[in-house]
């Protein structure tokens, strides 16, 4: 199948959507700077970029959710400045967000009715319109079903139908496949292409490279709020280029910790987990006093690997040795006792508890450990002292021991996590995108803290989509692709071509 053929349009057909020099800042922090985007009728246009690149913000602007600080938009050649999603809908723009907006206790038809305004007067009318649209575009849905009983894929179909019923001709899907199985993803992507071929325009936001090539006609790549590749025909981009465009060029670095490799701290042999394309498994060795950077485009097995290492998930097969001990079957707690520490990619999903105080978050793991060993006894004074000490040592701004952690900025919340994980018993640190989303200063602080820990003898596996972060700290760099190590080099021998090729799996 040739995905790159697009729909043939009569000459002079205006673009479906044009966005020119769009800028937008949140609380003074730029999220978009001179971003550009051009969408053509009849095409599926992928927007890719790592987390935080500005993809959702750009499309939220087109969908009337945010007003840009600067820039121009046109729909079908006409000037366009939507003040609300309803406004954008008048221009034929409809967006399906990452988090669905359905009333759980209502039926599908009731949800549609809520959305349709004067277009439908009764549940029956809404159900009829749904059924009709579903048939027209080839999506299956039962209007009488209660939303809470629907699968994720079904809910997504309801969201898409809702938007299409409102007359969307420009459909924006924000990371639609993130919540789907591989089979469901293929079905959805297939659907988007059929829709485009019928004359609509579809924007597909994703941070997964793999999906892009096969199902899209053109590609826009965003990085740090800028358009680094604008509307390139898929057939003309090399996959290797996309990888390096997404993560940026590797730059030379100064703060890298002194290399002093010692005893083996982490050894993975033929580790198999879901998402790997072949049976061969992942091998990896990490010594005390070194940083191994694991570069890769998100969605290539990084999450699964971290889950296997932390003990949150069992590998299908293969072995994990931690400080020389067979750890494959050990609980997360036992692994922690061996000195394993984790900074997860999502600090709140996997590390900190939003609603808890800073003192509780800092002492949480230690308490769990002691509770296991000799019964739970909270020593509030000690917890408080630890928090005071951590706040000072890690320069955690806006913090007090009894303040709720969610009140901290991202950078300061990350410091709370560091203060807890980088304790004196740490032997191995698994750091997953530790400075993602942080401002320059907080990011530098996090890197310094890791570098210092490694110079004092810790081993660090640094997993990141950001090549600058990888090159700042790593002594060796490996590339993960489809859950396997695609190649490894010492940091001094890493070149953009080598890494770009491996990132996209085209060595």
Of 270-329, binders to ligand ADP (CB under 6 A) are none
- Stretch of 53-61, 140-148, 438-446, 485-493 lying at the interface with ligand ADP (CB under 6 A): 53-61
Stretch that binds ligand ADP, among 50-58, 112-120, 272-280, 308-316 (CB under 6 A): 50-58
| DSSP letter (8 states) at residue 107 | B
484: its two tokens: 């396997």
Among 37, 56, 127, 323, binds Mg ion (CB under 5 A): 56
DSSP state string for 305-367: HHHHHHTSS--SEEEEEETTEE-TT--HHHHHHTTEEEE-SSHHHHT--TTSBHHHHHHHHHH
From CA 241, how far away is CA 497, in angstroms rounded?
9
Q: For the CB of residue 435, give the shortest distance to Mg ion in the complex, in Å.
A: 18
Q: What share of the chain is helix, strand, coil (3-state, %, to 5)?
A: 40, 25, 35
For the CA atoms of 152, 155, 156, 160, the dihedral, rounded to the nearest 10 degrees, stands at: 170
Tokens of 82: 């939507």
Alpha carbon of residue 339 to chain centroid: 28
Gap between the Cα atoms of 498 and 489, Å rounded: 9
Closest separation between CB of residue 15 and Mg ion, Å? 23
Query: By C-beta, is 175 or 488 nearer to Mg ion?
Result: 175
| 60 near Mg ion, rule: CB under 5 A | no
Strands 218-223 and 201-206: unpaired
Q: Is 31 in the site for ligand ADP (CB under 6 A)?
A: yes
CB 405, CB 357: distance < 8 Å: yes
- Give the nearest distance from C-beta 30 to ligand ADP in angstroms: 8
Judged by beta carbon distances under 5 to 8 A according to partner kind, the member of ligand ADP, Mg ion, none in contact with residue 42 is none
Query: Does 5 participate in binding ligand ADP (rule CB under 6 A)?
Result: no
Selected from 46, 57, 209, 485, the binder of ligand ADP by CB under 6 A is 57
- Taking the complex as a whole, the smallest distance from the CB of residue 79 to ligand ADP amounts, in Å, to 24
53 binds ligand ADP (CB under 6 A): yes
If binding is defined by CB under 5 A, does position 220 make contact with Mg ion?
no
Q: Which is nearer to ligand ADP, 46 or 53 (CB)?
A: 53
What torsion do the CA atoms of 204, 210, 216, 221 make, to the nearest 10 degrees? Answer: 60
Given candidates 6, 37, 42, 55, which one binds ligand ADP under the rule CB under 6 A?
55
Q: Which helix (H) or strand (E) holds 478?
A: strand 476-481
Determine which residue in the list 17, 37, 44, 49 makes contact with ligand ADP, applying CB under 6 A: 49
* Interface residues toward Mg ion, by CB under 5 A: 56
* Interface residues toward ligand ADP, by CB under 6 A: 26, 31, 49, 51-57, 437
């Amino acid at each position: 199948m040739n995905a790159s053929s697009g729909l043939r349009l009569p000459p002079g057909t205006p673009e479906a959507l044009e966005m020119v020099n769009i800028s937008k800042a949140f609380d003074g922090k730029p999220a978009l700077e001179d971003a550009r985007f051009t969408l053509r009728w009849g095409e599926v246009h992928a927007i890719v970029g790592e987390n935080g690149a500005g993809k959702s913000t750009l499309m939220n602007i087109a969908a009337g959710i945010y007003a840009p600080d600067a820039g121009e938009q046109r729909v079908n050649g006409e000037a366009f400045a939507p003040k609300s999603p309803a406004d954008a809908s008048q221009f034929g723009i409809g967006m399906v967000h990452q988090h669905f907006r359905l009333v759980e206790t209502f039926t599908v038809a009731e949800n549609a009715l809520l959305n349709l305004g004067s277009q439908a007067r009764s549940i029956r009318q809404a159900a009829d319109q749904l059924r009709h649209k579903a048939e027209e575009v080839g999506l299956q849905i039962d209007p009488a079903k209660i939303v809470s009983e629907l699968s994720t894929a079904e809910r997504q179909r309801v969201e898409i139908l809702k938007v299409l019923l409102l007359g969307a001709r420009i459909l924006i899907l924000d990371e639609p496949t993130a919540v789907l199985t591989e089979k469901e993803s293929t079905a959805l992507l297939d659907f988007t292409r059929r829709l485009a071929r019928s004359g609509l325009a579809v924007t597909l936001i994703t941070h997964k490279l793999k999906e892009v090539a096969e199902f899209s006609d053109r590609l826009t790549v965003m990085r740090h709020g800028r358009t680094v590749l604008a509307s390139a025909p898929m057939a003309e981009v090399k996959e290797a280029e996309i990888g390096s465009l997404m993560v940026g060029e590797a730059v030379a670095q100064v703060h890298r910790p002194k290399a002093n490799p010692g005893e083996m701290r982490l050894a993975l042999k033929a580790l198999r987990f879901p998402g790997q394309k072949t049976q061969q498994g992942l091998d990896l060795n990490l010594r005390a006093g070194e940083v191994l950077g694991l570069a890769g485009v998100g969605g290539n097995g990084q999450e699964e690997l971290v889950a296997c290492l932390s003990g949150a998930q069992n590998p299908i097969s293969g072995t994990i040795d931690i400080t020389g001990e067979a750890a494959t079957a050990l609980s997360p707690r036992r692994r922690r006792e061996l000195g394993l520490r984790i900074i997860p990619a999502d600090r709140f999903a996997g590390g900190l508890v939003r609603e808890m105080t800073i003192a509780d978050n800092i002492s949480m793991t230690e308490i769990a450990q002691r509770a296991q060993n000799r019964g739970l006894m909270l020593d509030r004074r000690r917890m408080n002292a630890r928090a005071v000490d951590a706040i000072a040592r890690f320069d955690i701004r806006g913090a007090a021991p009894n303040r709720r952690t969610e009140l901290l900025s991202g950078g300061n919340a990350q410091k709370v996590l560091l203060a807890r994980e980088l304790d004196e018993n740490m032997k191995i640190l698994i750091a997953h995108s530790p400075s993602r989303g942080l401002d320059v200063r907080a990011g530098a602080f996090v890197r310094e803290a890791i570098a210092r820990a490694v110079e004092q003898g810790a081993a660090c596996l640094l997993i990141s989509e950001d090549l600058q972060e990888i090159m700042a700290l790593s002594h060796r760099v490996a590339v993960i692709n489809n859950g396997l190590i695609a190649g490894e080099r010492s940091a001094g021998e890493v070149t953009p071509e080598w890494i770009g090729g491996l990132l996209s799996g085209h060595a």
